[in-house]
Amino acid sequence: MFAALTPFLAAFAFLSEEGGHEVHAGDGGALAQWAWLIVVVPVVITFLIVFFGKKSPLKGWGMATFGMAFVAVYGAVLAWVNLQEGILYEGAIDIGKIGPFALQWGWVVDGLSIMMYFLVGIVGFLVFVYAKGYMKGDVRYTWFFAAFSLFAGGMLVLVSAPNLIQLIVGWELVGVSSYLLIAHYWEDFDNVDAGNKAFMTNKIADVGLFIGAIIMALSAGSFQFSEIFSRMIEGHTLLAQFGFWAGLALFIGAMGKSAQFPFHVWLPDAMAGPTPVSALMHAATMVTAGIYLIARLFPFYQMPEFAGNVDSYIVVIGAITLFFMGLLAIVQDDIKKVLAYSTVSQLGYMMAAMGVGAYSAGLFHLFTHAFFKSLLFLGAGSVIHAVHSNNMSDMGGLRKYMPATFWTFLIGTAALIGLFPFAGFWSKDEIIASAYYNASTDPTAAAWFMVILSIAGAFITAFYMARAVSLTFFGEYNGHGHPHESPKIMTIPLMGLAAFAAFAGFLNMPGITETFIEWVTVRAFPISEHHFTAPNWALISIVTPIVLIALGIGFWLFRPKETQAARDTFDIPVLYPLLEHKYYIDDFYMDGIIRPTMGPLADGTLWIDENIVDAVPNLAGGAAKHVAAAVNTVDQNAVDGVYNSVSAGTGAAGGFLRKALTGRVQQYAAMSFAGVVIIAALFMIF
Amino acid sequence: MTIIQFVLLGAALFSIGLYGVLTRKNAVLVLASVEVMLAAVNVNLVAFDVYLGDASHAGQIMTLFLIALAAAEVGIGIAIVLLVFRNRRSANIDELDVMRF
């Protein structure tokens, strides 16, 4: 079906002036045709666990992990074939029609979706293995793996979507299963609140997604991505007219799932869920959905005639998110919240990268971030498992007790802050370099804003990670009991992820390897982006010292002996309260929007409803009641009276006549004879 | 011989039969009375057949049918009476008033 696109691709050549990759791709053969299994297996396994999980020997863990292993292996094979010859395939099954729009369930197999299949599979598999140790003895152990499997399955539905409808279905599946998982410990009401918050915040942003999808479908005439791109190449006027609004609305949807400012509030609270959930949710699934949506529609956001003007909004939002949310991580005591704000900040990097047109750089950061952030979360989970507290003030000195966790956490930290040669170094520097290139070719305020904030973000990242590592692993142990290293089932996944965190960066070293770029640019629609042929040494020589300085300051401020005192010296008058209260954004939402809505607004609407809106039906109802009473009287007395008297008369007549029936046969015979005589007499007379 | 004597004989037989049907207590005698009434009808049929000089003698043929019918009827009647007697140890029709309301 992509053969039909070839003329359009030729027409698009004028856009590839920045050195977009030429795509030579096969259709992947049976491997791609059967790729629907990637989506179906985890979803089917969810139901198998729900129905048979408790009776199975591994209580559902085995099935869930098998599903993820399947996805990982299938994804790896697809990735391998994709790198050899390229795969472009789009399978579809017709389900029905909504008006003029065809409704299809399909599966896209191209570079972008293969990357996500692989990522969800491999990270999911390692996290599921880890969860066996972490969730041991949980009350809802089996149910946890059912919801977890659905979570990964929903993400795969989203990733495999060839149209906006299926994307929304996957989007909502991810949303609902994240709600189930965040509120997993629902006995504690705070966790339920966190689940509700995540769900409702996403729902508000989802309105943008829905509106965007509707605008897109109405103007382009289809929900299919391939159709939308074809309309773009044709220069469809209606689509061009509404392209900006469709792009902006879809971006608002992406902001919700990818926790961009000001929709970030749900993500730190989502830490209420079990740690494996946080690891998967903030690495390979859920939060990457928004980035994925922008990446899927990347050509649409690249053309100034269509949604190109949304880019500056994306850049600004991404830059604000990466910097200001990173700052919040500095003051958190909960180790998972440090990582949560760090996730928000890194998502800001990815989003901003999409905005500056760095498609593969943004996706590369998504790819490496998935490994090192899930590694950090699982490491934090391992610590929490040992200490039975989330607070870093209860930790300290764990380096000695938990060597495996400590070293893997350190690798994750190095990758996150972007130390050479760990994964984050290559991906983050590529984003900063892309931002710089964007600013130098198109010097707008937003572009320079992004460059400065992305470098400042690198500083903050190093600073809060230095603090977290120092407070957790160095100094003296402050908690209760004797911490111990986690079981092998938990440390082995950590090591697996650490290997990826250390080496994944080598997939894309500017000027040396381009494996990752070749991987994700296999798209039916050519991706045009600036392509670096060498590392930007000037930027590296600025960013790397900055990171090292931040590390030094962090370790010095929070050095083991003065942990508590250092915390106090950090009490800068205006900044600290501001950060402590999360810029008052949550308070503003609560006091400025939710409370007035639930309080005066709800009461007012209730009053109007009861007194004004209800007055009309009440009046009508009252009148109808009186009419009914009158009708009832007439019915009871007049209408029923006729029937009652007729039946009473019949009854009386029957009572009288029954006396004639004595049962004596001869009397009957005599009466018959008398009757015959009378009839005969009548015959004679007349 | 005129038709009048036969008609009178028939009327007399019918009246006797009717009287028997209405007054006898024993069910067997009631049945016998019914036979008498049927005999009256037969007398009339034969008499009018001859009197009217019917070439096909439909009246006499009808009489033969009636005699056969009467025999069958008596057979069923006696059988019913026997069963009633066996169940109730009595053939008195005054006691057979179960059909009363």
Q: Residue A6's pLDDT band (boundaries 50, 70, 90)?
A: very low
Greatest alpha-carbon span in chain B: 52
In this structure, what is the dihedral angle of CA atoms A611, A613, A615, A616, given to the nearest 10 degrees?
170
Crossing angle of helices A287-296/A164-182, nearest 10°? 170
- CB-based burial of residue A626 (10 Å sphere; 0-12 exposed, 13-18 middle, 19+ buried)? exposed
Nearest CA in chain B to A670: B22
The C-alpha of A653 sits at a distance from chain B's nearest C-alpha, in angstroms, of 15
Q: What is the number of helices (H) and of strands (E) in chain B?
A: 3, 0
Q: What is the pLDDT of residues A313-342, one digit of tens each?
A: 888 888 888 888 888 888 888 888 889 999
Q: What pLDDT shows up at residue A563?
A: 54
Does residue B89 sit at the A interface (CB-CB below 8 Å)?
Answer: no
Of A658, A666, A673, the CB nearest to B93: A666
CA separation for the pair A126, A123 (Å, rounded): 5
B98/A663 Cβ within 8 A:
yes
Question: Over 80: is that where the pLDDT of A355 sits?
Answer: yes
Average confidence score pLDDT of chain A: 84
CB contact under 8 A, A663 and B97: yes
Residue closest to A529 by CA, chosen among A356, A274, A289: A356
Rounded Cα distance, A423 and B33, in Å: 126
Chain B residue closest to A655 (CA)?
B101
Which range has highest mean pLDDT (A1-5, A95-99, A299-303, A479-483)?
A: A299-303
Measure in Å the smallest separation between the Cα of A619 and chain B Cα atoms: 58
Q: What is the pLDDT of residues A434-456, one digit of tens each?
A: 888 888 887 888 788 888 888 88
**Min CA distance, A671 vs chain B (Å)?**
10
ipTM above 0.90, yes or no: no
Judge whether residue A26 has pLDDT over 90. Answer: no
Q: Shortest Cα distance from A682 to chain B (angstroms)?
A: 20
Q: Is the pLDDT of residue A2 over 80?
A: no
Architecture of domain B3-95 in CATH? Answer: Orthogonal Bundle (1.10)
Distance CA A555, CA B39 (A): 140
Across the interface, whether the CB atoms of A665 and B18 are under 8 A apart is answered no
**Nearest C-alpha neighbor of A155 from the set A345, A366, A360:** A366
Give domain limits for chain A: 163-580, 615-685
Query: Would an 8 Å CB–CB cutoff place B93 in contact with chain A?
Result: yes
State whether residue B11 sits within 8 Å of chain A by CB.
no
A200, A280, A332, A562, A593 from A516: Cα distances, Å: 36, 22, 35, 44, 44
Q: Is residue A334 helix, strand or coil?
A: strand
Contact between A301 and A294 (Cβ < 8 Å): yes
Q: Please write the tens of the pLDDT for every residue from A548-582.
A: 888 888 888 777 665 555 554 566 666 777 777 77
The partner residue sitting opposite A658, judged by closest CB among B18, B21, B101, is: B101
Q: How many C-beta neighbours within 10 Å does residue A521 have? A: 24
A·B CB contacts under 8 A: 28
pLDDT in the model for residue A12: 41
Radius of gyration in angstroms for the set of CA atoms belonging to chain B, rounded to a whole number: 17
- pLDDT above 70 covers what percent of chain A? 94
Question: What is the pLDDT, as a whole number, of residue A566?
Answer: 53
Q: What percentage of chain A exceeds 90 in pLDDT?
A: 14
Q: Answer yes or no: is pLDDT of B15 > 90.
A: yes
State the pTM of this model: 0.73
B99 CB within 8 Å of a chain A CB: yes
